[in-house]
Chains A and B, each alone.
Chain A
Amino acid sequence: MIKHESIETNAGLLIALTLIVISIGGLVEIVPLFFINDTVEKVEGVRPYSALELRGRDIYQREGCYLCHSQMVRPFRDEMLRYGHYSLAAESKYDHPFQWGSKRTGPDLARVGGKYSNEWHVAHLVRPTAVVPQSVMPNYPWLLETELNYSDVQDRMRALKMTGVPYSETQQEYEANVTTFGADIAGRLDILRAEETLMQQALTYNYDGQRARITEMDALIAYLQVLGTMVDFSRYDEGYFTQFR
Chain B
Amino acid sequence: MSETKPKPQGAVQTTGHSWDGDLQEFNNPLPAWWLWGFYATVLFAVIYWVLFPAWPIAGGYTTGVMNTITFVDGSGEERTTHWNTRSLLLKEMQQSESAQRSREYLEKVAATDYQEILSDPEMMDFTRSMAKGLFGDNCAACHGTGGSGVIGLFPNLADDDWLWGGTVEQIETSIRAGRYGFMPEFRNTLNAQQLDDVATYVLSLSGNKVDQTVAARGEKIFQTDTGGCYYCHTESGTGLESQGAANLTDQVWTVADVNGAETLDAQKAEVKQVIRNGVERRMPGWSERLTAAQIKLLTVFVHELGGGQ
Which residue numbers of A lie inside 8 Å of B, CB to CB? 5, 8, 32-33, 35-38, 75-77, 80-82, 84, 86, 114-120, 123-124, 130-134, 209, 234, 237-239, 241-245
Contact = CB atoms under 8 A, between A and B. Distances in A.
Most buried by A among B89, B99, B145: B89
Nearest to B137: A82
B74 A131 contact: no
Contact of B92 (A32, A77, A243): A77
B213 interface: no
Given A115-B138, A130-B150, A131-B141, A242 B86 contact: yes
A37 B16 CA distance: 52
B51 to A, nearest CB: 16
Nearest to B149: A131
Contact of B79 (A36, A38, A239): A239
A129 to B, nearest CB: 11
Interface of B: 16-17, 53, 56, 58-61, 71, 73-75, 79, 81, 84-90, 92-93, 96, 99, 137-138, 140-142, 144-145, 150, 153-154, 280-284, 288-289
Contact of B289 (A77, A115, A238): A115
Nearest to A209: B280
29 contacts: A32-B61, A36-B59, A37-B59, A75-B89, A77-B92, A80-B93, A81-B137, A86-B86, A114-B284, A115-B138, A115-B141, A115-B284, A116-B141, A117-B282, A117-B283, A119-B153, A123-B150, A131-B144, A132-B141, A209-B280, A238-B74, A238-B90, A239-B90, A242-B84, A242-B86, A245-B53, A245-B84, A245-B86, A245-B87
A116 B142 contact: yes
A134 B96 CA distance: 34
Contacts of A86: 86, 89
A120 to B, nearest CB: 5
A133 B86 CA distance: 36
